[in-house]
């Protein structure tokens, strides 16, 4: 038992790392398939650069020897090649940018769909700001990988190769010099990379902790201020930053050797080619353009390699962002979640079993239902059976944590029973198309969501295509109209992030208006008045009473007034707390 948290912790750490690396390598594989057009433009630009070098070399040779070839012709060709190269470079940048957009669009779509698929029960306990961070920021971090890193990898091979081939054609010996110089770069990089790898492995944990320290302390700054420790924390932040510098420099000292290899190879190539042509040039003036051409090839060969080194951080950024993104259940891994199993099996079930249920009058039943939130977790519902005939109301009682919300989530299809059946008009809920299940259910909880938009938008959320008369009627029935007049611009008042703040009772009435507009036969109410003051609670219950007419209703509550309200309606009760107590007594 004591070992469990340890093992869990290690397992989580191990899984996160693998998933992140897996995701990044998948992305690279996928990105490579799409990058050929960008690479083609890059290769075209490299060929033009080589041609430019040749024209420039010819022009210089003409100047040096007052040659017979036409200087203006070479100049015009040089200029044309320059313009074409500028065009190709723009096209390359444009297409690379689009690759980044396409990848982000795809990843964002995928992560949103995954979150919508696992639903509210699947993301229990995760703050929605964290989820939004995954969908917004972590997806953005993949831009560099697709738009810059993947194309740069291809160009780091193709660019130097083209330059070396040109060198060979001009002068085989110079070609060999250039090839050796270019090959020294990856060899040197590998050595330095291995060294840096070893160095950074030793430093990794300490460095990543120090790196996140600043953002972590800023996020928690009010906790620090209120504890009166801001000066101490500033001092230890400075100390941590200095330690990070020392450790980072230790890694960088080795890592920069690879850039130095690049400089060394470039300088070596320049000098070797200068020396290579020194002797022949004295005797053969015809070799002049060749010599100058080979000298001009050196920067052309090394530029893509420098470009590659410059975008390396783009890959690291994506790798860091991948950790949370990879943790989102992919389609395959959705199977691991008890809550998602329902959706999958519904999809997998034979066509004949998928059904919709007649929408007039719904009876629901729980048959020997057992339920737990997670595989190892405690049993929340234990062989629970009950039945609610069409048009009747059931009151769910019992203290918090006894399983009222679980019953509602089972009926909404967000969770599925560990064993037993939940049926609607006799049909197993797992066999009902999720969209159809959603159509026949209305739900009002403790804190209904108010979306960014106007009051009218928030009511119409239930049915955007509804004619004005219908949502206005719903607003009247839910008594939204009563308070809408006192808002700054009535139904057009903007709510949500940065908008006007409504009181708890007003929010509930908007939720009730939504339910009126949706007009579904099954109504699930999960503590809809839990945090309202008694007067408001009565008003909200009054609206709910009107909403409940002619529908099958389940009301989960521990509010005394709500009990009263239910008693007047003469309903059945299911006291889960007493049930649990009963079972315990029989067990003893």
Task: Find the binding residues for other proteins in span 526-545 (CB under 8 A).
Answer: 530-533
Among 271, 331, 335, 578, the residue binding other proteins under the rule CB under 8 A is 271
Helix (H) or strand (E) holding 367: strand 364-371
Q: Contact between 94 and other proteins (CB under 8 A)? A: yes
DSSP state of 276: H
- Minimal distance, residue 182 CB to other proteins, in Å: 16
Among 220, 385, 546, 581, the residue binding other proteins under the rule CB under 8 A is 220
Compute the distance between CA of residue 196 and CA of residue 250 in angstroms, rounded to an integer. 9
Q: Contact between 230 and other proteins (CB under 8 A)? A: yes
Helix (H) or strand (E) holding 176: helix 172-219
Tell me which stretch binds other proteins (CB under 8 A): 18-26, 61-69, 185-193, 577-585.
61-69
Q: Contact between 371 and other proteins (CB under 8 A)? A: no
Tell me which stretch binds other proteins (CB under 8 A): 214-222, 388-396, 474-482, 566-574.
214-222
- Minimal distance, residue 391 CB to other proteins, in Å: 21
Among 14, 22, 71, 187, the residue binding other proteins under the rule CB under 8 A is 71
Minimum CB distance to other proteins smaller for 190 or for 449: 449
| Total count of residues recorded for the chain | 588
Among 125, 350, 485, 570, the residue binding other proteins under the rule CB under 8 A is 125
Among 187, 204, 232, 333, the residue binding other proteins under the rule CB under 8 A is 232
Compute the distance between CA of residue 195 and CA of residue 189 in angstroms, rounded to an integer. 10
442-481 residues in contact with other proteins (CB under 8 A) are 442-443, 445, 447-449, 451-452, 461-464
Among 54, 142, 149, 414, the residue binding other proteins under the rule CB under 8 A is 414
Tokens for 482, please give them.
């009563």
Among 32, 37, 106, 108, the residue binding other proteins under the rule CB under 8 A is 108
Q: Contact between 130 and other proteins (CB under 8 A)? A: yes
Query: Closest Cα to residue 345, out of 427, 432, 440, 409?
Result: 432
* Contact yes or no for 434/409 (Cβ under 8 A): no
Which residue is listed with tokens 């159509």?
Answer: 439
Q: Contact between 375 and other proteins (CB under 8 A)? A: no
Query: Closest Cα to residue 320, out of 134, 104, 90?
Result: 134
Compute the distance between CA of residue 583 and CA of residue 588 in angstroms, rounded to an integer. 9
DSSP 212-267: HHHHHHHHTHHHHHHTT-HHHHHHHHHHHHHHHHHHHHHHHHHHHHHHHHHHHHHH
Tell me which stretch binds other proteins (CB under 8 A): 107-115, 346-354, 384-392, 562-570.
107-115
Tell me which stretch binds other proteins (CB under 8 A): 152-160, 162-170, 175-183, 227-235.
227-235
Q: What is the CA radius of gyration of the chain?
A: 35
Please state the φ and ψ torsions of residue 328, each to the nearest 5 degrees.
-65, 135
Q: Contact between 242 and other proteins (CB under 8 A)? A: yes
Compute the distance between CA of residue 72 and CA of residue 255 in angstroms, rounded to an integer. 47
Q: Contact between 402 and other proteins (CB under 8 A)? A: yes
**Binding marks (x or -) toward other proteins, 495..514, rule CB under 8 A?**
-xx---x-xx---------x
Q: Contact between 260 and other proteins (CB under 8 A)? A: yes
Q: Contact between 270 and other proteins (CB under 8 A)? A: yes
Which residue is listed with tokens 């998602």?
Answer: 340
133-152 residues in contact with other proteins (CB under 8 A) are 133, 135-136
DSSP state of 529: T
* H helices present in 447-502, as ranges: 455-460, 468-477, 480-484
């Amino acid at each position: 038992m004591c070992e469990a948290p340890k093992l869990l912790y290690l397992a989580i750490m191990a899984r996160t790392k693998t998933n992140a690396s897996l995701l990044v390598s998948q992305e690279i594989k996928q990105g490579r398939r799409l990058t050929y057009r960008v690479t083609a433009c890059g290769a075209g630009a490299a060929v033009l650069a080589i041609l430019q070098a040749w024209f420039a070399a010819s022009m210089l040779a003409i100047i040096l020897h007052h040659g017979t070839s036409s200087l203006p012709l070479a100049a015009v060709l040089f200029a044309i090649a320059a313009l074409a190269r500028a065009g190709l470079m723009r096209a390359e940048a444009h297409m690379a940018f689009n690759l980044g957009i396409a990848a982000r669009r795809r990843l964002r779509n995928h992560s949103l769909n995954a979150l919508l698929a696992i639903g509210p029960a699947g993301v229990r306990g995760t703050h929605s700001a964290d989820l939004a961070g995954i969908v917004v920021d972590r997806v953005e971090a993949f831009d560099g990988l697709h738009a810059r890193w993947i194309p740069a990898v291809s160009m780091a091979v193709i660019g130097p190769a083209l330059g070396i081939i040109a060198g060979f054609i001009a002068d085989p010996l110079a070609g060999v010099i250039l090839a050796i110089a270019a090959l020294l770069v990856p060899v040197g990089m590998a050595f330095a990379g291995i060294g840096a790898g070893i160095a950074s492995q030793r430093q990794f944990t300490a460095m990543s902790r120090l790196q996140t320290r600043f953002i972590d302390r800023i996020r928690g700054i009010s906790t620090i201020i209120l504890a009166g420790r801001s000066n101490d924390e500033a001092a230890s932040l400075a100390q941590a930053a200095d330690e990070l510098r020392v450790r980072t420099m230790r890694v960088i000292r080795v890592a920069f050797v690879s850039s130095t290899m690049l400089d060394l190879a470039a300088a070596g190539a320049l000098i070797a080619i200068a020396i290579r042509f020194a002797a022949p040039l004295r005797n053969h003036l015809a070799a002049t353009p060749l010599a100058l051409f080979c000298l001009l090839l050196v920067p052309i060969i090394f530029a893509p390699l420098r470009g590659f080194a410059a975008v390396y951080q783009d890959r690291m950024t994506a790798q860091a962002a991948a950790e949370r993104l990879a943790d989102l259940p992919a389609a395959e891994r959705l199977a691991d979640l008890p809550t998602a199993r329902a959706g999958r099996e519904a999809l997998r079930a034979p066509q004949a079993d998928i059904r919709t249920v007649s929408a007039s009058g719904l009876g629901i039943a729980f048959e020997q239902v057992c339920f737990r939130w997670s595989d190892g977790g405690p049993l929340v519902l234990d062989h629970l059976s009950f039945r609610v005939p069409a048009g009747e109301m059931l009151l769910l009682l019992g203290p918090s944590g006894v399983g009222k919300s679980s019953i509602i989530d089972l009926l909404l299809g967000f969770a599925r029973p560990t064993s037993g059946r939940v049926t609607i008009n006799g049909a197993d809920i797992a066999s009902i198309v999720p969209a159809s299940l959603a159509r026949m259910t209305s739900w009002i909880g403790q804190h209904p969501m108010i979306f960014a938009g106007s009051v009218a938008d928030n009511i119409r959320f239930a049915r955007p295509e509804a004619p004005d008369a219908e949502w206005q009627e719903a607003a009247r029935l839910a008594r939204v109209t009563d308070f809408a007049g006192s808002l700054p611009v009535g139904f057009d008042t903007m709510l949500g992030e940065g908008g006007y703040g409504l009181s708890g009772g007003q929010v509930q009435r908007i939720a009730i208006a939504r339910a009126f507009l949706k007009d579904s036969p099954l109504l699930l109410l999960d503590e809809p008045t839990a945090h309202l003051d008694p007067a408001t609670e009565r008003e909200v219950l009054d609206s709910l009473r009107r909403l409940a007419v002619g529908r099958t209703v389940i009301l989960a509550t521990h509010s005394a007034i709500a009990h009263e309200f239910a008693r007047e309606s003469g309903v059945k009760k299911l006291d889960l707390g007493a049930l649990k107590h009963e079972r315990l007594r029989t067990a003893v």
